[in-house]
Chain A
Amino acid sequence: MEPHVHASGSPAVELRNAVALISDFPALAGLDLTVERGEIVMLTGPNGAGKTTLLRVCAGLTPIARGYGRVMGADVSIERDEVRRRVGMVAHSNGLYDELTVQENLEFWGALIGAGDDELHQAMSIMGLDGRLASVPVRGLSAGQRRRTAFAILVVRRAGLWLLDEPHAGLDSSARDEVDGILRKASAAGATVMLSSHELDRAQQLATREVRLAGGVVVGDER
């Protein structure tokens, strides 16, 4: 199931001199960044460097106060709803309903966007959530299974840009391997991935590019 391709000629993310304020503090302080389609970009930097804010700006959750930004071809300042429809974000939480089963969570999202049963089953199959797991309430899942369910929702939504804040946090070694495998598959299917992680070695193996942030600006960029 391939992600939707929106404005295919444009970069996935294009930010110019972007300033984003968190309680009047410039969490992004004139950041410039271009991310091409299909890249897996790892964001690194100390706490407070602006990694989470950058992901939230790209998700259309935090507005930019100054500068220019386009995500998946949509302007982050004036087309926030469109940006949101084109990206998917998994932060520290997974956005799931504990009382519902895996399948019911996916059906909820499928019904919201008009996805068919085939698409839901395909997403569950890609994430290894079919079979017995499909009927397990989310509260009974392991941390890794919950994360896979959250990723399955991104697949159902056919998000073109996956924004992941610490996707390895709280997972054991095998679950982290699963996450890496899923992200490689998503990238191969055409999705762009931006992730922040404190698992530097693991993320470096996964990523095609490392962007270092400090003080809300890019201070290093290696492919």
Chain B
Amino acid sequence: MSSSGRIQVARVVLSKDLRIERRSKVLTSQIIPFAVVTLVLFAFALDGDAILQRTAPGLVWIAMLFSSMIIVQRNFAVETSDGALDALRVAGADMSAVFWGKWLALVIQLLVLEVVLLIGAFVMYGIEFRGPGVVLLVTSSISATCGLSAVSTIYAGLASGVRGRESLLPLLVMPVASPVLIGATRAAEAAFGTGGTVVSEGWPWLGVLSVFAVVFSFGGSLAFGPLIDD
């Protein structure tokens, strides 16, 4: 298939996923409330402004990781509930392009979720946005989201044909995504100046997140088809 053909398939899959999300409103009616409730529960459990401010970056990314599992499950449930993923395979659709379409749909939904979580942390945990840290925060969040989305899409595809995939997926994704959790947390700490850190301490973590995102995104696009076939 030509490059333009692949881009067309990816665009069609992306548009379909976002249209389904707009219509079902699962992100806004279920996942965002779940993520906010998680932040509130962390606030109750770690009562104390100093502790919350110190741990806010990690808490945000843990809430993000948990919530992302629900989004990913949902993104692939629409493919498997009536055998649409099989139908795509039978139709000979370029699965690498299908990967990119689903990956980008997930990136967009996760970025929306991140904005809500950061606002929540600003309101509930008292984190402060500092001018020099904003660029680091934005770039590291985007890189982390791309990496998390790639890992999730690969393993959701792999688990899509397996019984008990709902419980299997977090077990597969969370260990592999731990570098994202660590890197994104450290970068966010540097961006917020948590515990006296400075912005320059966060740039190496942005590098780690970027390498992770590139490796898993391109690796995932190559492996997605064979993984689903097998």
- Say how far B177's CB is from chain A's closest CB, in angstroms: 27
State how many angstroms separate the Cβ of B47 from the closest Cβ of chain A: 41
Choose the segment among B38-46, B88-96, B107-115, B126-134 that binds chain A (4+ C-beta atoms closer than 8 Å): B88-96
Residue in B16, B23, B83, B93 whose beta carbon sits within 8 Å of that of A94 in the complex? B83
Does the CB pair A93–B82 fall under 8 Å? yes
Asked whether A157 is an interface residue with its Cβ less than 8 Å from the other chain, the reply is yes
B167 cross-chain contacts in A, Cβ below 8 A:
none
Complex contact A95–B86 (CB within 8 A)? yes
A108, B82: Cβ atoms under 8 Å?
A: no
Counting chain A residues whose Cβ lies within 8 A of the other chain, the interface size class is 20 to 34
Contacts known (A59-B90, A84-B92, A157-B91); A95 close to B84, Cβ less than 8 A: yes
Contacts of B91 in A (CB 8 A): 84-85, 88, 109, 112-113, 157
Q: Which residues of B contact A108 (CB under 8 A)?
A: 12, 16
Q: Is the CB of A61 within 8 A of B92?
A: no
> Residue on A with the closest CB to B83?
A93
Interface string of B22-37 (1 = CB under 8 A from A): 0110000000000000
Among A7-15, A98-106, A121-129, A193-201, the stretch in contact with B: A98-106
* Residue of B12, B82, B87, B92 touching A98 (CB-CB under 8 A): B82
Report yes or no: A84 in contact with B12, Cβ–Cβ below 8 A: no
From A91, which residue of chain B is reached at the shortest CB distance? B83
Q: How far is the CA of A59 from the CA of B229 in the complex (A)?
A: 12
> SS class of chain B's interface: helix, strand, loop or mixed?
helix
Does B171 sit within 8 A of A, measured CB to CB?
A: no
Please tell me the size bucket of the interface on B: 20 to 34
Does A41 have its Cβ within 8 Å of any Cβ on chain B? no
Instruction: Tell which of B23, B24, B82 touches A95, judged by Cβ atoms closer than 8 Å.
Output: B82
B20 touches A111 (CB 8 A): no
CB of B9 within 8 Å of the partner chain? yes
Quick check: B82 and A96 within 8 Å, CB to CB?
yes
* Contact call B19/A61, Cβ cutoff below 8 A: no
In the bound complex, residues from chain B placing their C-beta under 8 Å from that of A93 are 82-83, 86
Name B84's contact: one of A87, A88, A97 (CB within 8 Å).
A97
> Quick check: A82 and B90 within 8 Å, CB to CB?
no
Interface centre among B23, B78, B92 (most CB of A within 10 A): B92
On whether the beta carbons of A100 and B16 are closer than 8 Å, the reply is yes
Residue B178 is within 8 A (CB to CB) of chain A in the complex: no
Q: Bound state CA distance, A112 and B24, in angstroms? A: 23
Please give, as numbers and ranges, the residues of chain B lying within 8 Å of A112 by CB-CB distance. 8-9, 12, 91, 93
| 7 cross-chain pairs, A with B, having the tightest CB-CB distances, nearest first | A95-B87, A93-B83, A84-B92, A85-B92, A111-B12, A99-B20, A89-B90
The interface of chain B, by Cβ under 8 A from chain A, is 8-9, 12, 16, 19-20, 23-24, 78, 81-84, 86-93
CB pairs A–B below 8 angstroms (14 shown): A61-B89, A61-B90, A85-B91, A85-B92, A89-B86, A91-B83, A91-B86, A93-B83, A95-B82, A96-B84, A97-B84, A99-B78, A100-B16, A113-B91
